[in-house]
Amino acid sequence: MRRVAAGLFLSSLLVLAPACGGGGSSSTASIRFVQGSIDAPAVDFLVNGTTQKSNMLYGNASSYVSVTAGNSRVQVIPVNSTKPLLDQTVSLADSANETIVLTGPVAQLKAVVLNDGSTTTGGATGVASLRVVNISTQMGPADVYIIPSGARLQGATPVSSGLSFDQDTGYQSLDVGTGQNGADYTVYMTVPGTQSVYISTGPLTFSQNKKQTVIVLDGVSGGFTFTQLTDQ
């Protein structure tokens, strides 16, 4: 049976970054979208009326879309429907890179905006950056650990304590060395104040001068899962 979207129609002005100068500018910015609403139907992602990614399922992410700095219209429309779940005008500054994540159940949708900054960590030798985002509706607050794979969780210090729904850790610097293979780290999310694990990502590889985001979601069949993104 085809699923019919009956969710909240988000239509307010969403300011992602300070707008740059007047019309006619050739400056550019980038935006991408993550479908993080577990009970939303498959959706199409449109920017300024053009479909950028079709049939996006839960946990899917689009590529970055290059737009002229200033105002752009972003829409998220269920497949085989004309009624958007998200329809917003966004304002992006020159060279801004932003991610919009649709979170929550269809009846209580929310657009979470992440500022992805520049393409790299800024040229720091042997350093990568990782940001963890909690969009699980079932987990509740959690402590976040990012530790070298193979190291023991016991005795480690969380990078964020009690990270709540729709919150993120900000970018955390990781020592990955200067080799071509980088280094492996594991993300753990635990019951606050304990080391009882909600989710462990297993080893994730990071290379120097690169930025990534791990988005933690509810599993479709229970438990928790994650999506790993490479950031601009």
Q: Which tens digit of pLDDT belongs to each residue from 112-161?
A: 999 998 655 566 789 999 999 999 999 999 999 999 999 999 999 999 99
Taking a C-beta distance cutoff of 8 angstroms, is the pair 27, 94 a contact?
Answer: yes
The candidate with the shortest Cα–Cα distance to 44, out of 112, 102, 91, is 102
Could you tell me which CATH class the domain 14-115 is placed in? Answer: mainly beta
C-alpha dist (Å) from residue 49 to 44, 53, 69, 76 = 11, 12, 16, 11
Mean pLDDT of 45-73: 97
DSSP for 60-119 reads: -BPPPEEEESEEEEEEEEETT--S-SEEEEEEE-TT-EEEEEEES-GGG-EEEEEE--SS
Residue 98 CA to residue 213 CA, distance in Å, equals 12
Q: What is the CATH number of domain 127-230?
A: 2.60.40
Domain ranges of the chain: 14-115, 127-230
pLDDT in tens, 3-57: 334 444 565 546 554 444 444 457 999 999 999 999 999 999 999 999 999 999 9
Domains 14-115 and 127-230 share a fold: yes
- For residue 175 the two structure tokens come to 């020592």
Percent of the chain at pLDDT > 70 equals 87
Residue 11: its pLDDT value, please? 56
